[in-house]
Amino acid sequence: MRTTSALRRLAFGAVFLTTLAACSSASDAPAAFEDLTDTTEGRASATKVVGYFPTWQGDVNAIQYDKLTHINYAFVLPTAQGGLTGLSSGDTRLRSLVQTAHGRGVKVLIAVGGWMDGNDAPFEQMAANASTRTTFINNVVAFVDQAGLDGVDIDWEWPEPGTSAQNFGALMRELGTALHARGKLLTAAVVALNTDGIPSSAFSDVDYLNIMAYDWGYPHSTYDLAVQSLNYWIGRGLPKDKAVLGVPFYGRSQSGAYTYAQLVAMDAQAPYKDQVSDIYYNGIATIQAKTRLAVQQGGGIMIWEISQDTANTTSLLLAISQAIGGSGGNQAPSASLTSPTNGASFSAGSTITLTANASDTDGSIARVEFFAGTTKLGEDTSAPYSLAWSNVAAGTYALTVRATDNSGASTTSAAISISVTGSGGSCAGVPAWSSTQIYVNGDKATYNGKLWRAKWWTQNEIPGAAEWGPWELLGNC
């Protein structure tokens, strides 16, 4: 699930996308959100925010610790004889992670297992024998003690129904007893739904389950899947406060995987939609809708994995933190962009009036901010909320608004797309496009009687050949 070769390769090469397309699933999320209506147990103060952090990539010092409650360091691997391999308890990076996290009040667990190239035989063989289970438990407890950890996350992918499930139950029972006696946590990562490999007897042995509501079908992580996953596990008897909903910080196509940070680097509008070409992922609006669902219907939210995030205002972890701040005691405001409409077209140089609706059920709206992609255009602090966007250049824009209430909770609206066409400036002195020229962000060229500007590094890519491409049309010469 998590350590597939495709995901491991994300750290080692650039991803080149082929086309861009808008997706409406984020805007559909509020309707799906109403599928679960029991919100009486939503408590932001008890919400868990669990971030997996891999052994093979990511900067310990770049983690947004203030937005997490738990970090699962992934992975150490089990052996059939009950040993542990692949990572030592004295690993300097792990030590640094634990020290820094504990200084910020964040718990750190060691995640055991993972995808293991689809071979769960070490788990199967170890758990089937009482002696090797005991050896494994002793090694895990020693690892936790020596590294100063707060607990263990078992990521066995996957126990099968029958004997395998019984052995999983025995392992969790015995490991839970050993860890809880020392004041440590035991958690487990589980498939989204429809599995008999996890016995309900294990529910009392774990502190919570991390429900992997992703890598399931195509698109791989819809809002509906999140609803179905919580319904499934809670319906089986898992207490709500032990149901932690998993979300992806990556996208999947039918041929590969892409980090959220890579998608944002390739398409500045990626945070405001859920699809780039044939790659499906969760943008800000969907992540926030899932977070509110997780707070109100479960015990929190889990992320695979936090090194795939951005480090600015487009951060999905920031979006999660904002949504949690608006849950429980303080409800997040609502926000929608009412004008212009999706698909509207304007002439270059126009002044476009943006209008928005925003409301707050338990407070007041402090401000409404207007964005084109990641660029803030301005804000309004009183209703009716509007902004005059002057002298707009030619191009295609994803527009959103973000409403913030008087307690600091905020909500970002679904994006709408508009196009601005027409003259974008003089072509005088601008050289014609050349296939041998290297262009960087901001460079201009003329091609087929039109003026173009490069959005990023490019060579031998014809202006206008692909909608997603590196060239922005400024207008006719």
The CATH number linked to 461 is 2.10.10
Give the chain's radius of gyration (CA, Å): 24
Whole-number pLDDT of residue 423: 55
Instruction: Read off the DSSP letter of residue 242.
Output: G
303 and 372 inside one domain: no
Rounded CA separation 464/265 (Å): 20
Band of residue 348 on the pLDDT scale cut at 50, 70, 90 = confident
Average pLDDT of span 54-67: 96
427 inside domain: no
Q: Count Cα atoms within 13 angstroms, Cβ side, for 395.
A: 21
For residue 274, give the CATH number of its domain. 3.20.20.80
363 inside domain: yes
Name the domain count of the chain.
Answer: 3
367 and 449 inside one domain: no
267 and 362 inside one domain: no
Domain end marker among 303, 325, 347:
325
More confident residue, 422 or 149: 149
Residue 195 scores a pLDDT above 80: yes
225 inside domain: yes
387 inside domain: yes
Instruction: Read off the DSSP letter of residue 432.
Output: B
Average pLDDT of span 374-403: 89
212 and 360 inside one domain: no
Cα-based distances in Å from 465 to 4, 395, 472: 34, 15, 11
Band of residue 472 on the pLDDT scale cut at 50, 70, 90 = confident
315 and 370 inside one domain: no
Band of residue 22 on the pLDDT scale cut at 50, 70, 90 = very low
Rounded CA separation 166/363 (Å): 51
430 inside domain: no
Whole-number pLDDT of residue 394: 83
97 and 144 inside one domain: yes
428 inside domain: no
Domain end marker among 325, 347, 373:
325
Query: The tokens of 317 are what?
Result: 């972890």
Name the residue among 216, 207, 202 with its Cα closest to residue 247.
216
DSSP calls for 145-212:
HHHT--EEEEEES-PPTTHHHHHHHHHHHHHHHHHHTTT-EEEEEEESS--SSS-GGGGGT-SEEEEE
The one-letter amino acid at 376: K
Residue 474 scores a pLDDT above 60: yes
With a pLDDT cut of 90, the percent of the chain lying above it is: 61
Band of residue 467 on the pLDDT scale cut at 50, 70, 90 = low
The pLDDT tens digits of the residues spanning 167-192 come to 999 999 999 999 999 999 999 999 99
Instruction: Read off the DSSP letter of residue 307.
Output: G
245 and 369 inside one domain: no
Maximum mean pLDDT: which of 177-186, 362-371, 399-408: 177-186
The whole model's pTM is what?
0.68
Name the residue among 288, 82, 57 with its Cα closest to residue 73.
57
Neighbours of 237 (CB within 10 A): 10
Query: The tokens of 429 are what?
Result: 């002195």
For residue 366, give the CATH number of its domain. 2.60.40.10
200-214 as b/e, with b when 16 or more CB fall inside 10 Å?
eebbebbbbbbbbbb
> In which domain, by residue range, is 351 found?
334-421
Whole-number pLDDT of residue 392: 86
407 and 456 inside one domain: no
More confident residue, 416 or 41: 416
Residue 328 scores a pLDDT above 80: no
Domain end marker among 297, 325, 353:
325
258 and 381 inside one domain: no
Instruction: Read off the DSSP letter of residue 4.
Output: -
318 and 340 inside one domain: no
Residue 14 scores a pLDDT above 80: no
Residue 40 scores a pLDDT above 50: no
Residue 23 scores a pLDDT above 70: no
Burial class (CB in 10 A: 0-12, 13-18, 19+), 303: buried
Give the contacts of 203 (CB within 8 A, at least 6 positions apart): 209, 236, 237, 238, 239, 242
238 and 303 inside one domain: yes
Whole-number pLDDT of residue 27: 34
The pLDDT tens digits of the residues spanning 109-153 come to 999 999 999 999 999 999 999 999 999 999 999 999 999 999 999
The pLDDT tens digits of the residues spanning 248-287 come to 999 999 889 999 999 999 998 899 899 999 999 999 989 9
Rounded CA separation 247/291 (Å): 9
Rounded CA separation 249/289 (Å): 15
The pLDDT tens digits of the residues spanning 212-258 come to 999 998 899 999 899 999 999 999 999 999 999 999 999 999 889 99
Rounded CA separation 330/342 (Å): 31
